[in-house]
Copies of this chain bind each other. A is one copy, B any other.
Amino acid sequence: MALSASRFASALRIAGRRYPALNVGAACRSEFRYEQARGFASSPRWQIRTKEMNEDLLKDLKVNQGRLMEDIHYTCQWGTGERWGDAPSETGMSRLALSDADKAARDWFVSTTEALGCKVTVDAMGNIFAVRPGLRNDKPPTFVGSHLDTQPTGGRYDGILGVTAGVEMLRVLADNWTETEYPVGVVNWTNEEGARFPKSMISSGVWAGDIPVETAHSLREVHPGTATMADELKRIGYLGATPASYESLPMAAHFELHIEQGPLLEMSNKKIGVVTGVQAYKWFTINVKGRDTHTGTTDLKSRADALLTASKMILHSHRLATANNALASTGILNLKPGSTNTVPGSVTFSLDIRSPSDATVAKMKELILQDFPKIASGEDVLDSNLGCTASLPLKVEIIEDFNSPATKFRADCITSVRQSAHHILGPNSHNLIMEMTSGAGHDSVYASKRCPTSMIFVPCREGVSHNPREFCKEEDCALGTQVLLQSVVRFDRMRDERRVSWKQEPYTL
């Protein structure tokens, strides 16, 4: 029978084990060291080591669906967003990174994981690492990670499911008196969304050594606020003294459960996505410069209409994506001066290009650099001028803002996920599992640069995400958590067969 967290904590005390109640201040110590001593002083018969589990015993590690959903919805009291339905949980989320609401969710995460026997460390980016000791604590933990921050008009699952699933993993391990070979942990990464501080996955990026901590600390929140990340980390008490680095806080592996945020699983009636990598993407800002003129007094041939030209470019980028089996999307478009009777002289728009293949993204970039200036100058590119009036030439400036090469996850992590999914879904599993590439970026992209990584996707309704109506069925949340838990256990069991050094070397794909 499953024990509640408090009963488990009592049991721990009865068993005479020492679990220092860390407060956040204490967690910010300059050095992070797992206890070298074995976490569980003794292994009574009613405790079980992951290595002793056969496939049947693995089945007994059962996620508690009700409890998981309670954690999700309980924590959504902090940063509740727009209501879209009548039920109590039918509201979206608006929990911007390092806001008061985010602090409240973080405090819950710290106190809950501590009560479950974890040691909590906060690093200089406010990333929170909660670690449950294993039998051998001289090696880095296997982590489950995601984020508690949301988009301003986000939902209850993106990120939140991944962190609460990690907490549920800790609960299930505790319920079942399971001892892992090595420590296991849950990490809450700061500002994954990049919604408040405009660089997504910035804190896992600092941890991975890709982004200097000074750059991240001085990043300012989006208009109209003016606070930096360092200001806000300090204000809410989550500016840890431990360096944000894979060297200070190494990981044996990083597993992440996430809603798909796309329609593929739902449309094909699959239950679990085994994520083998993350597609490459580049972000561009396109500035089109024409001339403001009066809509009524300027004949078509005397115009330099920046919006008409931008429309041709947006359509052209879609045609290029179709021809090259890539994705091209414009999510932001601003024009000036913005009056019904003035032809806009200036348009700025975003362009997001993606493909699982770096070569395809590079080719798309090349085509855009080649074609957009032609379209601006009035040349016909793939019938872009069909039926149009030739007008005055315009100028275009193309700025590459962000580049994320294709990520390939590690075979051993992918295997853990695949085996777990087949094991849990049973005889019909081959019809219910899809091997897939993540379209979106996640903290797992940066994690994968420094440790073996994989992800698990579950379907979300109509593929909708970054929207208050984002929705994942309770049974799918639980099923994904079950696969996550088992993947961690499987990985823990196989760790002796592979070498993971305590001082993790920079991880090369």
Instruction: Give the B-binding residues of A (Cβ under 8 A).
Output: 151-153, 195, 200, 260-264, 267, 279, 281, 283, 291-300, 302, 305, 307-308, 310-312, 314-315, 318-319, 321-323, 327, 329-333, 335, 337-345, 350, 352, 354, 382-383, 386-389, 438-441, 462-467
The answer, among B195, B312, B327, B345, for a CB contact under 8 Å with A315, is: B312
Q: How far is the CB of A250 from chain B (nearest CB, A)?
A: 29
B354 to A350, Cβ gap below 8 A? no
Question: 6 new A-B pairs (CB below 8 Å) besides A294-B466, A340-B352?
Answer: A263-B302, A294-B439, A294-B440, A307-B330, A341-B441, A383-B386
Q: How far is the CB of A347 from chain B (nearest CB, A)?
A: 9
Task: Please name the residue on chain B nearest to A296 by beta carbon.
Answer: B439
B343 to A338, Cβ gap below 8 A? no
Task: Please name the residue on chain B nearest to A314 by beta carbon.
Answer: B311
In Å, the complex CA distance between A153 and B338 comes to 11
Q: How far is the CB of A335 from chain B (nearest CB, A)?
A: 6
A267 to B302, Cβ gap below 8 A? yes
Query: Quick one: which of A297, A305, A315, A341 has the most chain B CB within 10 A?
Result: A297
The answer, among B331, B383, B389, for a CB contact under 8 Å with A322, is: B389
Supposing A302-B262, A331-B342, A440-B341 touch, asked if A465 and B297 sit within 8 A by C-beta, the answer is: yes
In Å, the complex CA distance between A340 and B151 comes to 12
Query: Quick one: which of A281, A341, A388 has the most chain B CB within 10 A?
Result: A341
| Residues in B whose Cβ lies below 8 Å from that of A333 | 307, 333, 335
| Residues in B whose Cβ lies below 8 Å from that of A344 | 330-331
| Residues in B whose Cβ lies below 8 Å from that of A462 | 291
In Å, the complex CA distance between A298 and B307 comes to 26
In Å, the complex CA distance between A388 and B267 comes to 22
B195 to A339, Cβ gap below 8 A? yes
